[in-house]
Structure 1
Amino acid sequence: MIDQFTIRALAPQEALGQVCALSDVLIDCVEGGASVSFMLPLSRDRADAFWHGVAEGAIAGERILLVAQDRTSGQVVGTVQVILKQPENQPHRADIAKMLVHRRFRKHGIGAALMLAAEAAARKAGKTVLVLDTVTGGDAERLYERVGWTKSGIIPNYALWPQGGFCDTTVFYKLLAAA
Protein backbone atom coordinates (compact mmCIF):
# COMPACT_ATOMS: atom_id res chain seq x y z
CA MET A 1 0.00 0.00 0.00
CA ILE A 2 2.89 2.39 0.65
CA ASP A 3 3.51 2.48 -3.12
CA GLN A 4 0.33 4.60 -3.40
CA PHE A 5 2.13 7.40 -1.56
CA THR A 6 5.14 9.62 -2.18
CA ILE A 7 7.39 10.73 0.68
CA ARG A 8 9.37 13.89 0.00
CA ALA A 9 10.90 16.96 1.59
CA LEU A 10 9.08 20.16 0.77
CA ALA A 11 11.18 22.95 -0.66
CA PRO A 12 11.22 25.68 2.01
CA GLN A 13 9.06 28.14 0.02
CA GLU A 14 6.71 25.31 -0.97
CA ALA A 15 5.88 24.73 2.71
CA LEU A 16 3.92 27.99 2.81
CA GLY A 17 1.67 26.71 0.03
CA GLN A 18 0.92 23.52 1.96
CA VAL A 19 -0.24 25.16 5.22
CA CYS A 20 -3.93 24.25 4.71
CA ALA A 21 -3.15 20.63 3.85
CA LEU A 22 -0.79 20.30 6.82
CA SER A 23 -3.40 21.87 9.10
CA ASP A 24 -5.94 19.28 7.94
CA VAL A 25 -3.62 16.49 9.08
CA LEU A 26 -2.81 18.18 12.40
CA ILE A 27 -6.46 18.91 13.21
CA ASP A 28 -7.45 15.33 12.37
CA CYS A 29 -4.73 13.93 14.64
CA VAL A 30 -5.61 16.20 17.56
CA GLU A 31 -9.32 15.45 17.15
CA GLY A 32 -8.35 11.77 17.20
CA GLY A 33 -6.72 12.22 20.61
CA ALA A 34 -3.05 12.70 19.68
CA SER A 35 -1.06 14.60 22.30
CA VAL A 36 1.04 16.70 19.91
CA SER A 37 1.21 20.07 21.72
CA PHE A 38 -2.38 21.23 21.10
CA MET A 39 -5.58 21.17 23.12
CA LEU A 40 -9.13 20.72 21.87
CA PRO A 41 -10.75 22.41 20.18
CA LEU A 42 -7.93 23.15 17.74
CA SER A 43 -9.05 25.98 15.47
CA ARG A 44 -8.01 26.29 11.85
CA ASP A 45 -6.38 29.64 12.70
CA ARG A 46 -4.18 28.09 15.42
CA ALA A 47 -3.23 25.16 13.20
CA ASP A 48 -2.42 27.47 10.27
CA ALA A 49 -0.34 29.74 12.53
CA PHE A 50 1.65 26.73 13.71
CA TRP A 51 2.41 25.59 10.15
CA HIS A 52 3.30 29.12 9.07
CA GLY A 53 5.91 29.09 11.83
CA VAL A 54 7.18 25.71 10.67
CA ALA A 55 7.40 27.01 7.08
CA GLU A 56 9.35 30.05 8.28
CA GLY A 57 11.72 27.70 10.13
CA ALA A 58 12.21 25.70 6.94
CA ILE A 59 12.91 28.88 4.97
CA ALA A 60 15.49 29.87 7.61
CA GLY A 61 17.17 26.46 7.26
CA GLU A 62 16.30 25.47 10.83
CA ARG A 63 14.21 22.42 9.90
CA ILE A 64 13.32 20.02 7.14
CA LEU A 65 9.62 19.39 6.52
CA LEU A 66 8.70 16.08 4.92
CA VAL A 67 5.27 15.06 3.68
CA ALA A 68 3.53 11.91 2.55
CA GLN A 69 1.22 12.52 -0.41
CA ASP A 70 -1.29 10.34 -2.20
CA ARG A 71 0.19 9.69 -5.68
CA THR A 72 -3.19 10.07 -7.38
CA SER A 73 -4.75 13.08 -5.69
CA GLY A 74 -1.66 14.81 -4.31
CA GLN A 75 -3.38 15.03 -0.91
CA VAL A 76 -1.02 15.43 2.03
CA VAL A 77 -1.74 12.48 4.34
CA GLY A 78 1.21 12.67 6.72
CA THR A 79 4.19 14.73 7.79
CA VAL A 80 7.30 14.78 9.96
CA GLN A 81 9.96 17.38 10.73
CA VAL A 82 13.70 17.20 11.27
CA ILE A 83 14.67 20.08 13.52
CA LEU A 84 18.23 20.96 12.58
CA LYS A 85 18.75 24.04 14.74
CA GLN A 86 20.38 22.94 17.99
CA PRO A 87 22.63 24.53 20.62
CA GLU A 88 26.19 25.18 19.43
CA ASN A 89 27.56 22.23 21.44
CA GLN A 90 25.18 19.83 19.64
CA PRO A 91 25.79 20.41 15.92
CA HIS A 92 25.63 16.65 15.31
CA ARG A 93 22.08 16.25 16.73
CA ALA A 94 18.56 16.81 15.40
CA ASP A 95 15.09 16.39 16.86
CA ILE A 96 12.28 14.58 15.10
CA ALA A 97 8.94 16.30 15.63
CA LYS A 98 5.28 16.18 14.69
CA MET A 99 5.24 12.79 12.97
CA LEU A 100 1.58 12.82 11.99
CA VAL A 101 -0.50 10.55 9.77
CA HIS A 102 -4.15 11.32 9.03
CA ARG A 103 -6.36 8.68 10.70
CA ARG A 104 -7.85 7.54 7.36
CA PHE A 105 -4.40 6.66 6.05
CA ARG A 106 -2.89 4.81 9.00
CA LYS A 107 -1.81 1.16 8.87
CA HIS A 108 -0.36 1.53 5.35
CA GLY A 109 3.31 1.96 6.28
CA ILE A 110 3.26 5.74 5.92
CA GLY A 111 4.57 6.44 9.43
CA ALA A 112 7.51 4.06 8.97
CA ALA A 113 8.27 5.54 5.54
CA LEU A 114 8.19 9.06 6.97
CA MET A 115 10.58 8.06 9.75
CA LEU A 116 13.02 6.44 7.31
CA ALA A 117 12.90 9.55 5.11
CA ALA A 118 13.47 11.78 8.16
CA GLU A 119 16.50 9.70 9.13
CA ALA A 120 17.89 9.94 5.59
CA ALA A 121 17.35 13.71 5.51
CA ALA A 122 19.04 14.09 8.89
CA ARG A 123 21.98 11.97 7.77
CA LYS A 124 22.32 14.04 4.59
CA ALA A 125 22.35 17.19 6.78
CA GLY A 126 25.28 15.73 8.73
CA LYS A 127 23.35 14.68 11.83
CA THR A 128 24.37 11.51 13.67
CA VAL A 129 22.14 11.59 16.77
CA LEU A 130 18.34 11.89 16.58
CA VAL A 131 15.97 12.38 19.51
CA LEU A 132 12.18 12.35 19.82
CA ASP A 133 9.47 11.89 22.41
CA THR A 134 6.03 10.36 22.15
CA VAL A 135 3.06 9.41 24.30
CA THR A 136 3.85 6.29 26.33
CA GLY A 137 1.91 3.23 25.22
CA GLY A 138 0.63 4.72 21.97
CA ASP A 139 0.84 3.50 18.39
CA ALA A 140 3.75 5.84 17.67
CA GLU A 141 5.81 4.29 20.49
CA ARG A 142 5.41 0.87 18.90
CA LEU A 143 6.25 2.31 15.46
CA TYR A 144 9.49 3.88 16.69
CA GLU A 145 10.57 0.60 18.27
CA ARG A 146 9.77 -1.26 15.01
CA VAL A 147 11.96 1.11 12.96
CA GLY A 148 14.94 0.68 15.26
CA TRP A 149 14.78 3.54 17.73
CA THR A 150 16.10 3.00 21.28
CA LYS A 151 13.91 3.81 24.26
CA SER A 152 15.75 6.04 26.71
CA GLY A 153 13.13 6.43 29.42
CA ILE A 154 9.68 7.57 30.46
CA ILE A 155 8.76 10.93 31.96
CA PRO A 156 5.50 10.82 33.94
CA ASN A 157 2.87 13.57 33.54
CA TYR A 158 4.92 15.19 30.76
CA ALA A 159 2.03 16.67 28.80
CA LEU A 160 -1.74 16.81 28.56
CA TRP A 161 -4.06 14.88 26.31
CA PRO A 162 -5.95 17.21 23.92
CA GLN A 163 -9.12 16.71 25.96
CA GLY A 164 -7.27 17.20 29.28
CA GLY A 165 -5.57 14.89 31.76
CA PHE A 166 -1.90 14.03 32.05
CA CYS A 167 -0.04 11.63 29.80
CA ASP A 168 3.45 10.21 30.14
CA THR A 169 6.05 10.52 27.40
CA THR A 170 8.69 8.08 26.25
CA VAL A 171 11.99 9.51 25.00
CA PHE A 172 13.76 7.74 22.13
CA TYR A 173 17.06 8.21 20.33
CA LYS A 174 18.69 6.80 17.23
CA LEU A 175 22.37 6.87 16.28
CA LEU A 176 23.04 7.29 12.57
CA ALA A 177 26.16 6.42 10.66
CA ALA A 178 27.83 9.51 9.24
CA ALA A 179 26.93 10.28 5.63
Structure 2
Amino acid sequence: MSSAMYVVEQVTAEELDGSVEDFAGLLSETVNGGASIGFLAPLEPGESTAWWRALVPEVAAGRLVLWTARAAADGRLAGTVQLRPATTANGRHRGEVAKLMVHPADRGHRLAGRLLAALEERAAESGIRLLVLDTETDSPAERMYQAAGWSRVGSVPDYATDPHGRTHPTTIFFKSLVR
Protein backbone atom coordinates (compact mmCIF):
# COMPACT_ATOMS: atom_id res chain seq x y z
CA MET A 1 0.00 0.00 0.00
CA SER A 2 1.56 3.32 -1.02
CA SER A 3 1.55 6.42 1.17
CA ALA A 4 -1.14 7.88 -1.13
CA MET A 5 -3.42 5.16 0.17
CA TYR A 6 -3.56 6.92 3.54
CA VAL A 7 -5.23 10.15 4.62
CA VAL A 8 -3.50 12.27 7.28
CA GLU A 9 -5.81 14.66 9.16
CA GLN A 10 -6.01 16.65 12.36
CA VAL A 11 -8.58 15.20 14.79
CA THR A 12 -11.15 17.08 16.87
CA ALA A 13 -12.10 16.13 20.42
CA GLU A 14 -15.44 14.84 19.14
CA GLU A 15 -13.72 12.65 16.54
CA LEU A 16 -11.36 11.27 19.18
CA ASP A 17 -14.26 10.58 21.54
CA GLY A 18 -16.13 8.73 18.80
CA SER A 19 -13.09 6.63 17.87
CA VAL A 20 -11.56 5.88 21.26
CA GLU A 21 -11.73 2.11 20.68
CA ASP A 22 -9.77 2.49 17.41
CA PHE A 23 -7.11 4.56 19.16
CA ALA A 24 -7.00 2.08 22.04
CA GLY A 25 -6.47 -0.79 19.62
CA LEU A 26 -3.64 1.06 17.88
CA LEU A 27 -1.96 1.86 21.19
CA SER A 28 -2.24 -1.72 22.47
CA GLU A 29 -0.94 -3.20 19.20
CA THR A 30 1.96 -0.74 19.11
CA VAL A 31 3.02 -1.31 22.72
CA ASN A 32 2.47 -5.07 22.62
CA GLY A 33 4.54 -5.08 19.41
CA GLY A 34 7.53 -3.65 21.29
CA ALA A 35 7.34 0.13 20.87
CA SER A 36 8.59 2.12 23.84
CA ILE A 37 6.01 4.92 24.15
CA GLY A 38 5.38 5.05 27.87
CA PHE A 39 3.47 1.84 28.56
CA LEU A 40 4.30 -1.69 29.63
CA ALA A 41 3.18 -4.86 27.85
CA PRO A 42 0.82 -6.48 27.84
CA LEU A 43 -1.28 -3.35 27.50
CA GLU A 44 -4.90 -4.28 28.01
CA PRO A 45 -7.64 -2.67 25.90
CA GLY A 46 -9.37 -1.20 28.97
CA GLU A 47 -6.22 0.63 30.03
CA SER A 48 -5.69 1.93 26.48
CA THR A 49 -9.30 3.08 26.22
CA ALA A 50 -9.14 4.91 29.56
CA TRP A 51 -5.91 6.63 28.55
CA TRP A 52 -7.38 7.92 25.27
CA ARG A 53 -10.67 8.98 26.92
CA ALA A 54 -8.67 11.11 29.37
CA LEU A 55 -7.17 12.97 26.38
CA VAL A 56 -10.53 14.12 24.95
CA PRO A 57 -10.72 17.21 27.24
CA GLU A 58 -7.05 17.99 26.46
CA VAL A 59 -7.81 18.05 22.72
CA ALA A 60 -10.99 20.09 23.31
CA ALA A 61 -9.02 22.69 25.30
CA GLY A 62 -6.20 22.90 22.72
CA ARG A 63 -3.60 21.59 25.15
CA LEU A 64 -3.10 18.62 22.82
CA VAL A 65 -3.30 18.56 19.03
CA LEU A 66 -3.78 15.15 17.44
CA TRP A 67 -3.38 13.77 13.91
CA THR A 68 -4.29 10.44 12.41
CA ALA A 69 -3.30 8.48 9.35
CA ARG A 70 -6.19 6.37 8.11
CA ALA A 71 -6.30 3.86 5.29
CA ALA A 72 -8.13 5.58 2.42
CA ALA A 73 -9.92 2.39 1.39
CA ASP A 74 -11.65 1.60 4.68
CA GLY A 75 -10.87 4.36 7.20
CA ARG A 76 -8.87 2.00 9.42
CA LEU A 77 -6.63 3.84 11.89
CA ALA A 78 -3.02 3.26 10.80
CA GLY A 79 -1.13 5.85 12.84
CA THR A 80 -1.23 8.91 15.05
CA VAL A 81 0.95 11.66 16.52
CA GLN A 82 0.45 14.34 19.17
CA LEU A 83 1.64 17.90 19.65
CA ARG A 84 1.66 19.39 23.13
CA PRO A 85 2.08 23.17 22.80
CA ALA A 86 3.88 24.70 25.80
CA THR A 87 1.51 26.65 28.03
CA THR A 88 3.94 28.72 30.08
CA ALA A 89 4.22 32.42 29.25
CA ASN A 90 7.88 32.10 28.30
CA GLY A 91 7.41 28.94 26.24
CA ARG A 92 4.50 29.59 23.92
CA HIS A 93 6.88 29.47 20.96
CA ARG A 94 7.62 25.77 21.50
CA GLY A 95 5.89 22.41 21.63
CA GLU A 96 6.59 18.77 22.32
CA VAL A 97 5.98 15.93 19.86
CA ALA A 98 4.61 12.84 21.58
CA LYS A 99 3.26 9.35 20.93
CA LEU A 100 4.11 9.01 17.25
CA MET A 101 2.93 5.51 16.42
CA VAL A 102 2.20 3.50 13.31
CA HIS A 103 0.36 0.19 13.42
CA PRO A 104 2.82 -2.67 12.86
CA ALA A 105 0.91 -3.76 9.73
CA ASP A 106 1.26 -0.28 8.20
CA ARG A 107 4.96 0.31 8.74
CA GLY A 108 7.19 0.84 5.74
CA HIS A 109 4.86 3.29 3.98
CA ARG A 110 6.45 6.50 5.32
CA LEU A 111 3.43 7.20 7.51
CA ALA A 112 5.53 8.35 10.46
CA GLY A 113 7.17 10.93 8.22
CA ARG A 114 3.83 12.09 6.83
CA LEU A 115 2.35 12.43 10.32
CA LEU A 116 5.41 14.33 11.52
CA ALA A 117 5.33 16.66 8.49
CA ALA A 118 1.64 17.46 9.11
CA LEU A 119 2.41 18.25 12.75
CA GLU A 120 5.38 20.44 11.84
CA GLU A 121 3.36 22.38 9.25
CA ARG A 122 0.46 23.06 11.64
CA ALA A 123 2.85 23.94 14.47
CA ALA A 124 4.62 26.52 12.29
CA GLU A 125 1.27 27.98 11.16
CA SER A 126 0.22 28.41 14.78
CA GLY A 127 3.41 30.31 15.71
CA ILE A 128 5.37 27.45 17.22
CA ARG A 129 9.00 27.92 16.22
CA LEU A 130 10.68 25.11 18.15
CA LEU A 131 9.77 21.45 18.63
CA VAL A 132 11.33 18.93 20.99
CA LEU A 133 10.91 15.19 21.49
CA ASP A 134 12.55 12.15 22.98
CA THR A 135 12.80 8.64 21.60
CA GLU A 136 14.50 5.38 22.44
CA THR A 137 18.17 5.52 21.48
CA ASP A 138 19.18 3.32 18.51
CA SER A 139 15.54 2.70 17.56
CA PRO A 140 14.10 2.96 14.05
CA ALA A 141 12.32 6.11 15.26
CA GLU A 142 15.65 7.75 16.07
CA ARG A 143 16.86 7.17 12.51
CA MET A 144 13.58 8.52 11.09
CA TYR A 145 13.86 11.76 13.10
CA GLN A 146 17.44 12.27 11.94
CA ALA A 147 16.38 11.71 8.32
CA ALA A 148 13.56 14.26 8.81
CA GLY A 149 16.05 16.97 9.74
CA TRP A 150 15.81 16.84 13.51
CA SER A 151 18.94 17.70 15.55
CA ARG A 152 20.20 15.34 18.22
CA VAL A 153 20.87 17.04 21.57
CA GLY A 154 22.19 14.00 23.41
CA SER A 155 21.08 10.92 25.26
CA VAL A 156 20.07 10.12 28.82
CA PRO A 157 21.05 6.66 30.10
CA ASP A 158 18.38 4.38 31.58
CA TYR A 159 15.69 7.00 30.91
CA ALA A 160 12.74 4.67 30.40
CA THR A 161 11.84 1.04 30.27
CA ASP A 162 10.69 -0.68 27.11
CA PRO A 163 7.33 -2.48 27.13
CA HIS A 164 9.03 -5.51 28.71
CA GLY A 165 10.54 -3.57 31.61
CA ARG A 166 14.16 -3.28 30.40
CA THR A 167 15.74 0.16 30.76
CA HIS A 168 17.09 1.95 27.70
CA PRO A 169 18.64 5.33 27.02
CA THR A 170 16.59 7.98 25.29
CA THR A 171 17.74 10.52 22.74
CA ILE A 172 16.53 14.11 22.91
CA PHE A 173 15.91 15.92 19.61
CA PHE A 174 14.85 19.42 18.59
CA LYS A 175 13.80 21.05 15.35
CA SER A 176 13.61 24.74 14.57
CA LEU A 177 10.65 25.62 12.38
CA VAL A 178 12.03 29.07 11.55
CA ARG A 179 12.96 29.13 7.87
TM-score calculated relative to the size of structure 2: 0.96
Alignment of 1:156-171 (within 5 A): 156-171=157-172
- Kindly provide the CA deviation profile for residues 93-128 of structure 1, in whole angstroms up to 9, marking residues without a partner as x: 000000000000001010100000010111122100
Deviation for aligned residue 1:12: 2.3
* SS in structure 2 of the partner of residue 56 of structure 1: helix
Offset at residue 25 of structure 1 (A): 1.1
Post-superposition shift, 1:177?
2.1
Q: Once the 2 structures are TM-superposed, how far is the Cα of residue 85 of structure 1 from its aligned partner?
A: 3.8
Residue in 1 aligned with 2:32?
31
Q: Which residue of 2 aligns with 1:101?
A: 102
Deviation sequence 1:80-102 (CA, Å, 0-9, x none): 00111432210100000000000
**Equivalent in the alignment of 1:43:** 44
- CA distance in structure 1 between the aligned counterparts of 2:16 and 2:85, rounded to whole angstroms: 16
Q: Is the 8 A contact 2:86 2:93 kept in 1?
A: no
Distance in 2 separating the partners of 1:55 and 1:149: 29
Please say if 1:63 is aligned against 2:93.
no
The Cα of 1:62 is off from its aligned counterpart by 0.5
- Structure 1 runs of 4+ aligned residues shifted over 6 Å read none
Cα deviation, residue 13, structure 1: 1.7
Residue 116 (structure 1) aligns with: 117
Alpha-carbon shift at residue 52 of structure 1 (Å): 1.1
Q: Which one-letter code corresponds to 1:142 in the other structure?
A: R
> C-alpha distance in 2, partners of 1:53/1:93?
23
Unmatched 5+ residue regions in structure 1?
A: none
In 1: Cα distance, 2:109 partner to 2:70 partner: 13
CA RMSD across the alignment = 1.0
> Which residue does 1:129 correspond to in 2?
130
Partner of 1:15: 16
TM-score of the superposed pair, with normalisation by structure 1: 0.96
| Shift of residue 146, structure 1, vs aligned partner | 0.8
SS in 2 for 1:151: strand
Does residue 150 (structure 1) correspond to residue 151 (structure 2)? The answer is yes
For residues 62 and 7 of structure 1, the distance between their equivalents in structure 2, rounded to whole angstroms, comes to: 20
Task: Provide the secondary structure at the position in 1 that maps to 2:30.
Answer: helix
Cα deviation, residue 63, structure 1: 1.2
In 2, Cα distance between the equivalents of 1:43 and 1:76? 18
